[in-house]
Structure 1
């Protein structure tokens, strides 16, 4: 009897392992196919959060705009705030990732090392919370693959058009209209900086009504964007 129960337990364990491997395969193969389909500029992808809003009947506001209809200062602000090596790395900033791993091994508080490409594939294909460490295992290879398939301009175009900028507000055009009543093409330097520093926490941060701390952070990003130089060459 005991051996029979042991056999059933082992059988269930094998079943769960097969299911886990199947799910992992889907999480890698489906995004790989979709990334190729997302390469043409006329395709307008949606994020997993946007799908969630539709499924839960909340709806959302997203107005796709080509990259040339986004103020360059917004793009420069995003690069200098989110991923200074965006134009140089191949989807993953290995130097920054090594620092994070070393810090974690030393028992220090972990910090983010997500590139714009990693954030893009996360928004397109993966979940937000919980299990962030598990998500990274999928995020890293997907980011490298996306960088191989898509141009830097296309990655940035997708990112700024699916990023969340407030409850139910996705993409830079909807964000610019919602928060400042103007198009993404006509954002000022300060408005671009305020929208950029909202990205890490768009639910609690309001670029139209920034706190003193948010204004200080925006001023820093505004100065960095003004001297972006070669850091944004791939977006010119």
Structure 2
């Protein structure tokens, strides 16, 4: 019984600070993350400016969700259907939700190690319960890498299309979203034929989630 009591105390000693930090970041915008900091050391500087969701084009939000996690408004942090499909395909397709990517970008480090995956799995439900879906997507849009040294939609919009984030058009949003799986190799301003085709799919998907209500959780 004593060992069980000590175990609970240790668990609470670890859990409580984590919950506090996650709760604080719900209201405080993180200025950087581990990966952005490492890229700053590598490149000397990076482009990044936090922009509130209210000043980001809704077309950009819908494009990212359509591209990365179409069921973002429907799941609780993990997309079980996508995970099953990834297992069936031999893990040749991605299954990470936007929630998981936010946990990775904001609180953890990049890589495929088991400790990192375990922490991601533990933190994702905490973020899902503590934050709103709109806040989760806001963090994603501001922390995601869109190019070499380009982080967040504000930097991406300025770099590739010379516009403010609230002026991003549906086509520009789709092109930027098409670069997300491989941002260092894909340039939205100089899209390949594959990127143009992918952007067309994303625009169609964005229109679909707007029409069927799967964008409601982050648009209001």
Please, what TM-score do these two structures have when normalized by structure 2? 0.85
Partner of residue 83, structure 2: 97
Q: Which of the residues 195, 202, 215 maps onto 1:232?
A: 215
Deviation at 1:55, TM superposition (A): 4.1
Deviation at 1:34, TM superposition (A): 2.3
Aligned residues of 1:165 and 1:171 also touching (Cα < 8 A) = yes
Instruction: Determine the C-alpha separation between the residues in 2 that align with 1:146 and 1:207.
Output: 30
Q: Deviations over 1:199-228 (max 9, x none)?
A: 111100000001011111001111111222
Partner of residue 218, structure 1: 199
Instruction: Determine the C-alpha separation between the residues in 1 that align with 2:20 and 2:38.
Output: 21
Residue 169 and residue 39 in structure 1: after superposition, are their counterparts in 2 closer, same or farther (change >3 A)?
A: same
Deviation at 1:93, TM superposition (A): 1.2
Please, what TM-score do these two structures have when normalized by structure 1? 0.80
Partner of residue 36, structure 1: 23
Query: What RMSD over aligned residues (CA atoms) do the two structures have, in Å?
Result: 2.2
Larger Rg: 1
Kindly tell me the number of residue pairs found equivalent between the two proteins.
206
**Matching of residue 200 in structure 1 with residue 206 in structure 2:** no
Aligned residues of 1:31 and 1:125 also touching (Cα < 8 A) = no
SS at match of 2:74: coil
Q: Which of the residues 144, 148, 155 maps onto 2:129?
A: 148
Aligned residues of 2:40 and 2:149 also touching (Cα < 8 A) = no
Partner of residue 4, structure 1: none
**Matching of residue 128 in structure 1 with residue 110 in structure 2:** yes
Instruction: Determine the C-alpha separation between the residues in 1 that align with 2:158 and 2:17.
Output: 33
SS at match of 1:87: coil
What are structure 1's unaligned runs of at least 5 residues?
1-21
